[in-house]
Amino acid sequence: MLGWALTFLIIALIAAVLGFSGIAGAASTIAQVLFFVFLVALVVSLVMGWGRRRT
């Protein structure tokens, strides 16, 4: 999932350099959403791992 976020970030940066503002905005929004979903999944997996390790 983090790979997808980085892919969309690179697409957004390339589109921004080339002047495609609509595509750059959409790709950066998708990258941000995927990055935050990845962070939530990371936190959930860490909490679940700590819970299993202690019992």
Give me the count of residues in the chain: 55
Q: What is the pLDDT of residues 2-18, one digit of tens each?
A: 787 788 888 888 888 88
Do 31 and 15 contact (CB within 8 A), yes or no?
Answer: no
**Could you tell me which residues come within 8 angstroms of residue 3 by beta carbon, excluding any fewer than 6 positions away?**
none
Do 54 and 21 contact (CB within 8 A), yes or no?
Answer: no
Q: How do the domains of the chain map onto residue ranges?
A: 2-54
Beta strands in the chain (DSSP E): none
How confident is the model at residue 54, as a pLDDT? 64
pTM (2 decimals)? 0.67
Q: Is the pLDDT of residue 55 over 70?
A: no
Structure tokens at 30: 């998708």
How confident is the model at residue 1, as a pLDDT? 63
Q: What is the pLDDT of residues 30-41, one digit of tens each?
A: 888 888 999 999
